[in-house]
Amino acid sequence: MNRSTDAIYSMSRLAAAVFGCAIFGIDCARALVGGASVATEDMARAVVGIVGPHDSFCTATVIAQDLLLTAGHCVQPGISYRAQFKDTNGVRQFSDVTAMDRPPQFKAGPPGTPISADLGLVKVAQSLPANVGIAAIGLAKDPVWPGDRFVVIGGGITLRGLHETGVNRMATLVAMGPYLPLQVRLIDSSGRDMGACLGDSGAPVFQTQPDGAKVVAVVSWAAGPNNTKGCGGLTGATPLSPYRTWLEGTISRLENGR
């Protein structure tokens, strides 16, 4: 993988498939999944779900015992949501979302176009149990170059109609060029068409750093192989570093109940 790979996809093609967790009309026969294994690594313990109306589902990351990081389009104002997690016996439990926020730059355009600043922070009513992990977030302004490797962990479904949400799977994906400060574009270099799919919106994008794995971006959208509509081709994510001021300020406000 090198910087010339940008010729594979033009910016106009990136708008082909905005990936919404509640959009079940798209053709998603593969998921983050397209052969991705169930995640057993310790960092997967911090990956939970957000359930909304009509059984809509997104993935989220626990960044404090009562705070979750997800995609902005997963949490609409005025709508009730619940965090979905598993207790020590592996039984699904829920905690109501009591507050949420999105960056002031958040903007959802017409269907088929990327969402700006697609990040969301939510606070839950009860602190999650100790068996649920807490992930560190990486806010350094390091550029993402083609060929950089990342681990994506999502709780979405593997087949449309299966509704097997909340089973965390992981895939190692690589960045493709060029460097874009407000977007990370990831592809599967193994040839198995792995990528984000239904329910994987909001999934954490982990990068291994000298002091451990950190969440550096959040999954926002996906496209199918060869830029077709669907999943398993291109995974688009929103990096955290451009929104560091908002993230730090909002985390502090939510933790202090403001």
The predicted pLDDT at position 51 comes to: 93
Dump pLDDT digits (tens) for 29-85. Answer: 344 555 567 777 789 999 999 999 887 899 999 999 999 999 999 999 999 999 999
The one-character DSSP state at 233 is S
Q: Check whether 258 has a pLDDT greater than 80.
A: no
Closest by CA position to 34, among listed 205, 224, 183, 215 = 224
d(CA 79, CA 238): 23
Decide if 70 contacts 199 (C-beta within 8 A). Answer: no
Range of the domain at 11: 3-255
**Mean pLDDT over the full length of the chain:** 82
CB atoms within 10 A of CB 181: 11
Are 49 and 83 within 8 A, CB to CB?
A: yes
How far, in Å, CA of 21 to CA of 198, rounded?
A: 5
| CA end-to-end distance (rounded Å), the chain | 46
What pLDDT is stored for residue 9 in this prediction? 32
Query: Hey, which of 14-28, 57-71, 151-165, 170-184 has the most confident mean pLDDT?
Result: 57-71
The pLDDT of residue 19 is: 39
CATH number of the structural domain spanning residue 232: 2.40.10.10
Other Cβ atoms closer than 10 A to 66: 19
Number of separate domains in the chain: 1
* Average pLDDT, integer, range 115-138: 95
Task: Find all residues with CB under 8 Å of 191, minimum gap 6, and list them.
Answer: none
What predicted TM-score, i.e. pTM, was given to this entire model? 0.85
Q: List Cβ neighbours of 84 (8 Å cut-off, separation of 6 or more).
A: 48, 49, 50, 51, 57, 92, 93, 94, 165, 166
